Amino acid sequence: MAGSLYTQSTVPRPLRLWPGVVIVVLQLLAWFVVPLVMPDAMIVGVLGGLVGGMGIVAWWVFFSRAPWSERLGAVVVIIGAVLATRPLMHPSIQTGMMGKMFFVYAVPLTLSLAFVAWAVVSRRLAVGPRRLAMVAAILAGCSVWALVRTNGISGGGGADLAWRWTETAEERLLAQGSDAPTAVISNPGAAATSESQVSTGVGKNPSGLPTPASAANPPDHRPRAGTGNDPATVAEVPAALEPAAEWPGFRGPDRDDVIRGVRIRTDWATSPPVELWRRPIGPGWSSFAVQGDLLYTQEQRGDDEVVSCYKLTTGKPVWMHRDGARFWESNGGAGPRATPTLHNGRVYSFGATGILNALNASDGVVAWSRDVAQDNGVKAPGWGFAGSPLVFDDVVIVAASGALVGYDLDTGDRRWFVPSRGGGYSSPHLVSIDGAAQVLLMGGSGITSFVPKDGARLWESAWEGVPIVQPAVVSGGDLLISSADMMGGMGTRRIKVAHEPGGWVVEERWTSRGLKPYFNDLVVHKGHAFGFDGSILSCIDLEDGKRKWKGGRYGNGQMLLLAEQDLLLVLSEDGELALVGASIDQFTEIARFAAIEGKTWNHPVMVGDVLLVRNGQEMVAFRLALDRRLAQR
């Protein structure tokens, strides 16, 4: 009897493995299954993975029945492996998701899985091999993250992972070279923010583009960049006003994504979009400006931030202006975020590091250039400067991390400056309310209205957040605004703005959670707003903000409204085109077409029957068949 008791007291009990196995299974379900049912539930996977990781530690330390030397030793090894791996990781993994990507992904997908798999497989091994296997499993679960990089994240938060030694789309483009002519490099020494956090060299030409002698060594009479309030040498101002551009810049003439006077055939099974041309392009989230047979956009090519001009009909390059600057951050990647603006024969561009250029539209020659960040003592926000320039009379206006700056259209001299009241990524928006022209800016504290001529403040309405999308004008001078936070869109609000004897009066009419745009702009049509509620299209009634319908999964895409046809042309985050009825009754998808590969956040543009789409890898032009019968009605 005594011998029997002795044996039972000294033989170690088997490991309690089932809690660890259950936790890992739940982690994987949260990561891979829940998003299939709830497309906007990436946060469930993130939180589930991190909570599950803490659960694994709690199980192992307190409930696993392992020897205490192994329980505590595993915790020490995990801490050491994490600290040792971090310096070896690619900068995109180190800084991704605000520095949390390694923990978000490694804890549920490799470290927890590897550790529990070790516990199950090695439970019958001798002590020495078992402990060596534990160290190997933990190191493998961490060190695999030194072998990968991320090309950015999706709107829902998922990372685009790749082996770190594979070429990026930009590197493949640079290796091909280009036949594009090049304009003057106006800022060869501008500071860069690159993956390695090392400033780019002065005067480098990594793109392989031919550089004319005048570009490499500009003669004294050639216009050069100016900084601060010092006047720059200015190219001759066009003598006469040029015809208005068909698509002068970000989201069209009124910055509302509305196409008027065009009707297309919707039977894409028999009349699909016809590809006119396709070509690679440098990274960036810029859209297009179009005039005549020329289109303008912005892109990144190596150490150069580029404003580029191509033929609309062929896609062939016409000219490229390069600034020696590079903005990069892990989530959105490299390149400019804003869209050029066309006005009276000039192209006004605003780069992600803060370079504001005025270029001749015909050849890219520099009229003037300013470093907005340096001029005004502002710092680029986390995602870079993203606001597209706005031209009003003789002033070009840019938003710089919540600040608003007006520059003289002809000389580039700073005319006025309004300090930031909270950062944001929205562009200045021109409206007329009660006969008064005003510029609206969404910022961290809400929406504020300014006089375009001098930046004087007219009125404001508070809504704290990080706004990205544009305000929208609705009937009666009311406005639709929205804001966002780290979790995505916060909702849509309608405000009434009026000028009364005592001054400007702003009144909130309603706030709706039925439409929560994040960085995807909405459109207004026939008393309703259509936009992205997370990754799903939604329609709300402008009278009360109540949702009419919700449907279709397009990721964080963008859209155009063909107003006369009650039709939405949706460009999904994955690069698919879809036709959706702009109806208040129900969601109806009419057609779908694969247009472009890769993450697509850029706004599409339609001029006549030509549709332009791009992302950070390529751009494509399609011809859409017009519906002549409807056009004749």
**Same domain for 298 and 422?**
yes
pLDDT of residue 11: 54
In a domain, 210, yes or no: no
pLDDT of residue 185: 42
**Same domain for 112 and 260?**
no
pLDDT of residue 629: 65
pLDDT of residue 195: 44
pLDDT of residue 23: 92
**Same domain for 485 and 621?**
yes
pLDDT of residue 208: 35
pLDDT of residue 213: 30
pLDDT of residue 260: 93
Q: Are strands 503-512 and 523-525 parallel, antiparallel or unpaired?
A: unpaired
Please give the mean pLDDT across all residues of the chain.
86
User: Is the pLDDT confidence value at 232 over 70?
Assistant: no
Phi, psi of 52 (to 5 degrees): -60, -35
Per-residue confidence band for 233, with pLDDT thresholds at 50, 70 and 90: very low
CA dist 111 and 123 (Å) reads: 18
Percentage of the chain with pLDDT > 70? Answer: 86
pLDDT average, residue stretch 186-209:
37
**Same domain for 140 and 251?**
no
pLDDT of residue 323: 97
**Same domain for 141 and 284?**
no
**Same domain for 142 and 247?**
no
**Same domain for 435 and 572?**
yes
**Same domain for 475 and 588?**
yes
In a domain, 359, yes or no: yes
- 175 Cβ neighbours under 8 A, 6+ residues apart: 167
Per-residue confidence band for 41, with pLDDT thresholds at 50, 70 and 90: low
In tens, the pLDDT along 102-122 reads 998 898 889 999 999 999 999
pLDDT of residue 424: 84
User: Is the pLDDT confidence value at 164 over 50?
Assistant: yes
pLDDT of residue 226: 33
In tens, the pLDDT along 432-477 reads 999 999 999 998 889 999 999 999 999 999 998 888 899 999 987 8
**Which of 150, 174, 197 is where one domain is finished?**
150
CA dist 298 and 308 (Å) reads: 6
pLDDT of residue 33: 81
Cβ atoms within 10 Å of 588's Cβ, excluding its own: 13
Pick from 180-184, 210-214, 326-330: least confident:
210-214
pLDDT average, residue stretch 549-567:
94
Percentage of the chain with pLDDT > 90? Answer: 71
CA dist 423 and 412 (Å) reads: 24
In a domain, 126, yes or no: yes
**Same domain for 139 and 257?**
no
Total domains in the fold of the chain: 2
Quote the crossing angle between the two packed helices 127-143 and 112-121, to the nearest 10°. Answer: 160
Query: Is the model more confident about 44 or about 235?
Result: 44
Cross-strand bridge partners of residue 480: 472, 494
CB 324 within 8 A of CB 189: yes
CA dist 300 and 193 (Å) reads: 12
In tens, the pLDDT along 327-339 reads 999 999 999 999 9
**Same domain for 143 and 253?**
no
- 323 Cβ neighbours under 8 A, 6+ residues apart: 185, 186, 187, 188, 190, 304, 305, 306, 351, 355, 357, 369
- Per DSSP, 88 falls in state G
In a domain, 426, yes or no: yes
In a domain, 36, yes or no: yes
Question: What CATH code is carried by the domain that includes residue 433?
Answer: 2.130.10.10
In tens, the pLDDT along 20-34 reads 999 999 988 888 887
In a domain, 430, yes or no: yes
**Which of 134, 150, 166 is where one domain is finished?**
150
pLDDT average, residue stretch 518-533:
93
**Same domain for 10 and 144?**
yes
Per-residue confidence band for 181, with pLDDT thresholds at 50, 70 and 90: low
pLDDT of residue 148: 96
pLDDT average, residue stretch 168-174:
94
**Which of 100, 123, 150 is where one domain is finished?**
150
User: Is the pLDDT confidence value at 211 over 50?
Assistant: no
Helix (H) or strand (E) run with residue 56 in it:
helix 42-58
**What's the domain range around 117?**
2-150
In a domain, 184, yes or no: no
In tens, the pLDDT along 327-379 reads 999 999 999 999 999 999 999 999 999 999 999 999 999 999 999 999 999 99
- 480 Cβ neighbours under 8 A, 6+ residues apart: 471, 472, 473, 474, 492, 493, 494, 522, 524, 529, 542
CB 353 within 8 A of CB 385: yes
In a domain, 246, yes or no: yes
In tens, the pLDDT along 284-299 reads 999 999 999 999 999 9
